[in-house]
């Protein structure tokens, strides 16, 4: 394993797409909002931005390959 990968793993590094956020939360729903695509939180019932997050975050593993889940 390359030294960069070791450092990232040691630090718990996450890319922007891996980081916990509304955009990859299981509780998000795609919704049209004022004629534009948006995200709605099914738990709170309000519109959210893709990089927002809350304490009810739940990882969405529905689209991951089975062997990658853990």
Q: Which residues bind ligand SF4 (CB under 6 A)?
A: 22, 25, 27-28, 41, 43-44, 48, 52-54, 56-57
Name the nearest CA neighbour of 27 among 60, 69, 70: 60
Smallest distance from ligand SF4 to CB 13, Å? 21
Closer of 7 and 42 to ligand SF4 (Cβ) = 42
Q: Count of alpha carbons within 13 Å of 66, Cβ hemisphere only?
A: 0
Q: Which residues contact 32 (CB under 8 A, 6 or more apart)?
A: 38
Smallest distance from ligand SF4 to CB 67, Å? 25
């Amino acid at each position: 394993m390359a030294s960069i990968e070791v450092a990232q793993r040691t630090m718990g590094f996450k890319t922007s797409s891996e980081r916990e956020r509304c955009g990859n939360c299981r509780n998000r729903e795609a919704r049209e909002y004022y004629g534009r695509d948006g995200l709605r939180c099914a738990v709170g019932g309000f519109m959210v931005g893709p990089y927002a997050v809350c304490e009810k975050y739940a990882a969405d593993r529905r689209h991951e390959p089975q062997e990658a889940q853990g």
